[in-house]
A and B are shown apart, each in its own frame.
Chain A
């Protein structure tokens, strides 16, 4: 067994490994190296040490502002997406008529790209606000709420599918035993269903947290940061820094590295915490 694994390893794994190196590992290392450089195009760069990292914070407060906005957005959208997705999953595992149709309908928004969704929601939101003589850029609040609505609309269906899979995996004998023991609907939910779907919760939280932090297309299409830079999320800020001013490519790169580390730490922490809550059934 082990021998044949060894023999066939290159055939099956090498293409993937090569792709992994070319498309992931090399850009990652190059990216970290470039964040210490002053460069115009990636092929000629001069090493400048930590000055890019200093400029991230000293030049202006854009990075901190957009980080704060991103955190505000992420907290609210992670909570709402997961609650709504879980409730929908509960509803759609009870054998209501048309369950499959509803599952498909809720999942559909996920198949549309972020840019398209952004423009569609911009039209919808502006359509409503026009009636009152406003547009989405009139107030940063509108953009903030708009982004959360958009995120919910797009992500709920996907998370719902994961939760449905989790709920369907709960062995029926446990549920029946609970029923025999006289546990009510809420008792069953909190003591059996939720602990049993913790693995799904881990995945869903991980996906929603990372997705809300690195949200870019939706942000670009919906508000592009307007008014001012008040609805600019961190990925958009990195992009704007990179292309906005000649000589600031390295600073954008430094922001990206800081951002990547931050998201990795948050995601790992979350994985560690929710893993602890998972139970073996």
Chain B
């Protein structure tokens, strides 16, 4: 009898323990923020602490490892304590998470959004389900010190005197090829950093570079005012500017630090390191790259000499083209959270982007260029590439290219285009096959 009681007691403890392990107690209105940017993980944790100190509301920050946000969100949202604030990457991302996106049209944070068209609307054009919180830009980053050095050489094949004169693909090609010839005199290993094509590192080409020709294609579609919407509705692609896409891609590959056949093992980090160490003059990337360049030990890029050049590829009218500016980062509030949690989450977002403390974190530590009207000119981040983005954004003589790649059909699509590009540089596929992949895969992944 006694033994029976002992075993029963043990059993109860075992069961209780397992139950208490899974079902943590729910405190009132805790905010759970699933962060997308691993590089800002520690800053968000600091912000959370600050917010708790100031407002007494607990914020739990969980950061997904690089490139695993969708996976993490998928498993986190199924839990009982699901994220109350999460992020979608654009209209396609909204489509997959719309059951979880709350209509935040009446929220204060939405009222601060300076360009309301940036927000993601519902399928019927009504309601606001996700709002962008950071604007980013990308183009060809160049090291002004090295280009100045080039322009001071005597035996150039052209008579341009500064990068400001370069406003088309032909001019770019001319100086790039000449620079490549004079790489010894310039002390570089190649004009462009490695065109990184190892698995998971192809996004600069299959997403960012492809954005430009497809933007021009969708923009020409008169049925839709917004090229992103045109892209979302495109069942098939003409890939009208395939030749132009090849122009710039070939220029990258032919005048590179690395031999063509070895590009399959290079990563974005490799290219940024090459640029930071002055082995290359140019690299295609965005303003987020500055923190990466800064981190490379022995970097010798001068802060006031690093600039953006638009991605010219030979499309007519590109003299007026700016860099690509847009966003892939939208906040959404979980519709399936409790009312209190939703309120608390919106309050937190509003605090982050409009209170003095919050804004300080955003500009000084997160280095965000935000699309909210609560930020004045003096509250812009002071890293050189972010400043360049702002310069391009404000230059009315140039037409910035929006990020229409948010309308690309799927991750698979980008992956397949990336591996076709790898086959192309390795010589196992022709460019026609790449172009066919771009078109055929669009059709099959869209269906």
Instruction: State which of A8, A41, A136 has its C-beta within 8 Å of the C-beta of B74.
Output: A41
How near does chain A come to B224, taking the closest CB pair, in angstroms? 22
| Chain B residues with CB below 8 A from A225, complex form | 199, 419
Answer yes or no: B106 CB below 8 A from chain A CBs.
Answer: no
Do most interface residues of chain B lie in helix, strand or loop, or is the interface mixed?
helix
- Would you call A18 and B14 a contact (CB within 8 A)? yes
How near does chain A come to B208, taking the closest CB pair, in angstroms? 19
A278 to B420 CA separation, bound complex (whole angstroms): 50
- Would you call A7 and B410 a contact (CB within 8 A)? no
- Would you call A243 and B261 a contact (CB within 8 A)? no
Answer yes or no: B28 CB below 8 A from chain A CBs.
Answer: no
Chain A residue at minimal CB-CB distance from B8 = A10
Answer yes or no: A126 CB below 8 A from chain B CBs.
Answer: yes
A225 to B198 CA separation, bound complex (whole angstroms): 10
Interface string of A197-238 (1 = CB under 8 A from B): 000000000000000000000000001111111000000000
| Chain A residues with CB below 8 A from B27, complex form | none
Give the interface segment out of A96-104, A127-135, A147-155, A187-195: A127-135
Give the interface segment out of B91-99, B107-115, B165-173, B395-403: B91-99
- Would you call B264 and A135 a contact (CB within 8 A)? yes
How near does chain A come to B197, taking the closest CB pair, in angstroms? 8
- Would you call A41 and B75 a contact (CB within 8 A)? yes
- Would you call A224 and B199 a contact (CB within 8 A)? yes
| Chain A residues with CB below 8 A from B75, complex form | 41-42
Check A227/B422 contact, CB under 8 A, given A133-B261, A243-B411, A246-B95. Answer: yes
How near does chain A come to B6, taking the closest CB pair, in angstroms? 8
Chain A residue at minimal CB-CB distance from B409 = A245
Check A133/B426 contact, CB under 8 A, given A10-B11, A11-B11. Answer: no
- Would you call A41 and B78 a contact (CB within 8 A)? yes
- Would you call B78 and A243 a contact (CB within 8 A)? no
Answer yes or no: B77 CB below 8 A from chain A CBs.
Answer: yes
A44 to B335 CA separation, bound complex (whole angstroms): 14
| Chain B residues with CB below 8 A from A245, complex form | 409-412, 445
- Would you call B96 and A40 a contact (CB within 8 A)? yes
How near does chain A come to B179, taking the closest CB pair, in angstroms? 23
Chain A residue at minimal CB-CB distance from B264 = A137
Interface string of B20-64 (1 = CB under 8 A from A): 000000000000000000000000000000000000000000000
Residue count of chain B within 8 Å CB distance of chain A: 42
Check A40/B423 contact, CB under 8 A, given A224-B199, A245-B411. Answer: no
Answer yes or no: B187 CB below 8 A from chain A CBs.
Answer: no
Interface string of B189-202 (1 = CB under 8 A from A): 00000000111100
- Would you call A137 and B198 a contact (CB within 8 A)? yes
- Would you call A15 and B261 a contact (CB within 8 A)? no
- Would you call A137 and B422 a contact (CB within 8 A)? yes
A276 to B43 CA separation, bound complex (whole angstroms): 63
Interface string of B419-433 (1 = CB under 8 A from A): 110110010100000
Sort chain A's interface into a size bin.
35 or more
How near does chain B come to A114, taking the closest CB pair, in angstroms? 16
- Would you call B265 and A137 a contact (CB within 8 A)? yes
Interface string of B154-197 (1 = CB under 8 A from A): 00000000000000000000000000000000000000000001
- Would you call A226 and B419 a contact (CB within 8 A)? yes
Instruction: State which of B262, B412, B444 has its C-beta within 8 Å of the C-beta of A135.
Output: B262
Answer yes or no: B291 CB below 8 A from chain A CBs.
Answer: no
Which residues of chain A from 5 to 50 have any CB-CB distance to chain B below 8 Å in the complex? 7-8, 10-11, 14-15, 18, 22, 40-44
| Chain B residues with CB below 8 A from A244, complex form | 410-412, 415
| Chain B residues with CB below 8 A from A168, complex form | none
| Chain A residues with CB below 8 A from B65, complex form | none
Check A8/B261 contact, CB under 8 A, given A240-B412, A244-B410. Answer: no
A116 to B426 CA separation, bound complex (whole angstroms): 26
- Would you call B423 and A228 a contact (CB within 8 A)? yes
- Would you call A227 and B423 a contact (CB within 8 A)? yes
Answer yes or no: B259 CB below 8 A from chain A CBs.
Answer: yes
- Would you call B4 and A126 a contact (CB within 8 A)? no
A223 to B200 CA separation, bound complex (whole angstroms): 11
How near does chain A come to B137, taking the closest CB pair, in angstroms? 27
Instruction: State which of A14, A40, A41, A137 has its C-beta within 8 Å of the C-beta of B426.
Output: A137
- Would you call B265 and A126 a contact (CB within 8 A)? yes
A195 to B70 CA separation, bound complex (whole angstroms): 52
Which residues of chain A from 56 to 111 have any CB-CB distance to chain B below 8 Å in the complex? 60
Answer yes or no: B297 CB below 8 A from chain A CBs.
Answer: no
- Would you call B261 and A227 a contact (CB within 8 A)? no
Instruction: State which of B3, B99, B264 has its C-beta within 8 Å of the C-beta of A138.
Output: B264
Instruction: State which of B18, B99, B263 has its C-beta within 8 Å of the C-beta of A44.
Output: B99
| Chain B residues with CB below 8 A from A224, complex form | 198-200
Interface string of B77-101 (1 = CB under 8 A from A): 1100000000000001001110100
A7 to B3 CA separation, bound complex (whole angstroms): 8
| Chain B residues with CB below 8 A from A229, complex form | 419
How near does chain B come to A58, taking the closest CB pair, in angstroms? 11
- Would you call A228 and B419 a contact (CB within 8 A)? yes
- Would you call B70 and A243 a contact (CB within 8 A)? yes
| Chain B residues with CB below 8 A from A42, complex form | 75, 78
| Chain B residues with CB below 8 A from A246, complex form | 92, 95-96, 410
Instruction: State which of A8, A41, A136 has its C-beta within 8 Å of the C-beta of B264.
Output: A136
Check A14/B410 contact, CB under 8 A, given A135-B264, A135-B265, A138-B261. Answer: no
State the A residues within 8 Å of B (CB): 7-8, 10-11, 14-15, 18, 22, 40-44, 60, 122, 126, 130, 133-139, 223-229, 240, 243-247, 249
19 A-B residue pairs with CB within 8 Å: A7-B3, A8-B7, A14-B14, A18-B14, A22-B18, A41-B78, A42-B75, A42-B78, A122-B265, A135-B262, A135-B263, A137-B197, A138-B261, A223-B199, A224-B198, A225-B199, A226-B199, A229-B419, A244-B415
Chain A to chain B: the 7 pairs with minimum beta-carbon distance, closest first: A224-B199, A137-B264, A244-B412, A245-B410, A41-B78, A246-B96, A135-B265
State the B residues within 8 Å of A (CB): 3-4, 7, 10-11, 14-15, 18, 70-71, 74-75, 77-78, 92, 95-97, 99, 197-200, 259, 261-265, 409-412, 415, 419-420, 422-423, 426, 428, 444-445
Question: 6 other contacts beyond A14-B11, A137-B265, A228-B419, with CB at 8 A cut-off?
Answer: A11-B10, A138-B261, A223-B199, A240-B412, A245-B411, A246-B92
